[in-house]
């Protein structure tokens, strides 16, 4: 079973909105053995929608559409689907009850525009939208399946998960397995050179891809076939053989993230964490608290953007700032020690750097960053040289700090 995704909306083609729906849908389809052949983004134009549907029908068995189902006049997908499937809009009680339920929850009366959202093409089965007023629609024609969903990610996700995927279950015989190995602290080309022989000896049904991100390289192994056990075993074997070659850089797998991995390590060891952030401005705390339940191990952070706060709250000595500057191993270490003491945690991570675009000097260029970890076994500080781009520097500093923290937590809990 081959799928195509069509995302509809002028906002995509003028660049006002990034299409995050397609990646999410593709991932879900993959895990159900359905490959996505193409993703096409088009405008809210009747002709363009009809033409793209025709083309996708030639290539795929399943066509998923998002967008153009809002209550406002710029949204025309529903009317266009009526033409495509040669049907007409009819009132649907179930869809109306859902609109009405949502308005009751918000304690406001149903508007006429939203009442119109309960009108659906006669030829479709309605897919209930638990999070919004626009229903999803399921059509079948000449053995092909067409699904139309709202473009609001939050609404699309619940419809796909609760209504579409269960109906697709068992329709594909193909097994697609992916395993992603996450590395930090090594460039793409160096990693490739290190693992070249291993890569050349992978079985033909396993494909390898390199996916670089700021500070990270992800290695994705993909296997396709019909024998799940065989594919699983081959991927496990390949992964095992990779460890002696690149093990020092590997920090996790698949969708794992540093905040999640660190959270698990801290929870297991019943230890706590605080942060003291200068150039990252709260990004590390934000990443850590993105994980549900992080209050079990994360106590708080001091974002010390001014030197005054570094001194007053974190207890950095004025003479340290004077002698070494805010961006130094000495200051970062005192920030980490100060945070650890102030917030009474087992670990504290501190970052001080020059995020840019201005603030660089001859001795300390933009991108210069010091990261310190204070822990029961002492305080370490490391210097990093990132680049010239503020957002990227903040991102790389956060990732590097979390990577260093991970290693320190492991070192303390598993000394050998």
Which one of residues 1, 35, 311, 383 is an interface residue with its own copies (CB under 8 A)? 35
Question: Least distance (Å) from its own copies to the CB of residue 125?
Answer: 25
Tokens representing residue 336 in the block: 């980490």
Length of the chain, please? 416
Three-state DSSP class for residue 248: helix
CA–CA separation, 147 vs 141, rounded Å? 11
Q: Which one of 80-88, 167-175, 203-211, 239-247 is the stretch in contact with its own copies (CB under 8 A)?
A: 203-211
Nearest to its own copies of 210, 411 (CB atom): 210
Nearest to its own copies of 123, 235 (CB atom): 235
* Contacts (CB under 8 A) with its own copies, residues 362-381: none
Nearest to its own copies of 5, 124 (CB atom): 5
Which one of residues 1, 11, 57, 321 is an interface residue with its own copies (CB under 8 A)? 11
* Contacts (CB under 8 A) with its own copies, residues 81-140: 106, 108, 111-114, 133
Among the listed residues 177, 176, 191, the one whose alpha carbon sits nearest the alpha carbon of residue 237: 177
- Count Cα atoms within 13 angstroms, Cβ side, for 72: 4
User: What is the secondary structure of 176-224 as a DSSP string?
Assistant: EEEEEEEEESS-HHHHHHHTHHHHHTS-TTEEEEEEEETTEEEEEEEEE
Q: Is 283 in the site for its own copies (CB under 8 A)?
A: yes
Question: For its own copies, how many residues bind (rule: CB under 8 A)?
Answer: 106
* Contacts (CB under 8 A) with its own copies, residues 12-31: 12-20, 22-30
Q: Is 285 in the site for its own copies (CB under 8 A)?
A: yes
Which one of residues 199, 239, 241, 311 is an interface residue with its own copies (CB under 8 A)? 199
Nearest to its own copies of 92, 278 (CB atom): 278
Question: Least distance (Å) from its own copies to the CB of residue 372?
Answer: 18
What residues have CB less than 8 Å from 60, skipping those under 6 apart? 2, 3, 4, 37, 38, 144
Neighbours of 37 (CB within 10 A): 14
Question: Least distance (Å) from its own copies to the CB of residue 87?
Answer: 26
CA–CA separation, 12 vs 343, rounded Å? 45
153-192 footprint of its own copies as x/- string (CB under 8 A): -x---------------------x-x-x------xxxx-x
Longest dimension (CA), the chain: 79
Which one of residues 281, 315, 325, 360 is an interface residue with its own copies (CB under 8 A)? 281
* Contacts (CB under 8 A) with its own copies, residues 304-363: 304-306, 308-309, 312-313, 342-344, 355-358
Question: Least distance (Å) from its own copies to the CB of residue 73?
Answer: 7
Three-state DSSP class for residue 86: coil
Nearest to its own copies of 5, 123 (CB atom): 5
Q: Is 238 in the site for its own copies (CB under 8 A)?
A: no
Question: Least distance (Å) from its own copies to the CB of residue 86?
Answer: 25
Which one of residues 1, 43, 61, 245 is an interface residue with its own copies (CB under 8 A)? 43
CA–CA separation, 79 vs 76, rounded Å? 6
Among the listed residues 365, 361, 400, 362, the one whose alpha carbon sits nearest the alpha carbon of residue 380: 400
* Contacts (CB under 8 A) with its own copies, residues 289-308: 289-290, 292-295, 298-306, 308
Nearest to its own copies of 108, 122 (CB atom): 108
What residues have CB less than 8 Å from 392, skipping those under 6 apart? 214, 386
Tokens representing residue 203 in the block: 């079985």
Three-state DSSP class for residue 88: coil
Question: Least distance (Å) from its own copies to the CB of residue 416?
Answer: 32
Q: Are strands 119-121 and 125-127 parallel, antiparallel or unpaired?
A: unpaired
Question: Least distance (Å) from its own copies to the CB of residue 311?
Answer: 11
User: What is the secondary structure of 94-137 as a DSSP string?
Assistant: HHHHHHHHHHHHTT-PPPHHHHGGGEEETTSEEE--TTSSSPEE
């Amino acid at each position: 079973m081959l799928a195509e995704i069509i995302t509809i909306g002028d906002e995509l083609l003028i660049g006002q909105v990034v299409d995050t729906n397609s990646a999410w849908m593709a991932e879900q389809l993959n895990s159900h053995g359905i490959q996505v052949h193409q993703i096409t983004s088009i405008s809210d134009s009747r002709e363009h929608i009809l033409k793209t549907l025709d083309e996708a029908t030639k290539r795929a068995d399943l066509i998923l559409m998002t967008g153009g189902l809002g209550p406002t006049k710029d949204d025309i997908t529903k009317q266009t689907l009526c033409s495509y499937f040669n049907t007409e809009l009819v009132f649907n009680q179930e869809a109306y009850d859902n609109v009405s339920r949502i308005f009751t929850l918000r304690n406001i009366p149903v508007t006429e525009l939203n009442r119109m959202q309960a009108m659906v093409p006669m030829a479709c089965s309605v897919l209930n939208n638990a999070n919004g007023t626009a229903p999803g629609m399921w059509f079948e024609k000449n053995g092909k399946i067409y699904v139309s969903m709202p473009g609001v990610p939050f609404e699309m996700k619940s419809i796909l998960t609760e209504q579409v995927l269960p109906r697709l279950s068992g329709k594909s015989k193909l097994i697609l397995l992916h395993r992603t190995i996450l590395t930090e602290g090594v460039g793409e080309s160096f990693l490739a050179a290190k693992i070249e022989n291993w890569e050349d000896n992978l079985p033909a049904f396993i494909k390898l891809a390199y996916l670089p991100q700021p500070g990270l390289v992800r290695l994705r192994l993909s296997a396709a076939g019909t024998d799940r056990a065989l594919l699983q075993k081959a991927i496990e074997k390949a992964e095992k053989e990779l460890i002696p070659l690149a093990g020092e850089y590997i920090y996790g797998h698949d969708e794992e993230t540093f905040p999640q991995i660190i959270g698990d390590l801290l929870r297991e060891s019943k230890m706590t964490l605080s942060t003291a952030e200068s150039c990252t401005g709260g990004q590390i705390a934000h990443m850590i608290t993105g994980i549900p339940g992080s209050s079990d191990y994360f106590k708080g952070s001091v974002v010390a953007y001014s030197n005054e706060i570094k001194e007053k709250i974190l207890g950095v000595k004025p003479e340290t700032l004077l002698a070494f500057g805010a961006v130094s191993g000495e200051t970062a270490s005192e920030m980490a020690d100060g945070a650890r003491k102030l917030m009474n945690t087992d670990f504290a991570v501190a970052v001080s750097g020059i995020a840019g675009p201005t603030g660089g000097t001859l001795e300390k260029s933009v991108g210069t960053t010091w990261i310190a970890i204070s822990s029961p076994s002492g305080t370490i500080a490391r210097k990093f040289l990132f680049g010239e781009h503020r957002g990227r520097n903040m991102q790389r500093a956060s990732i590097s700090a979390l990577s260093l923290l991970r290693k320190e937590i492991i070192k303390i809990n598993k000394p050998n």
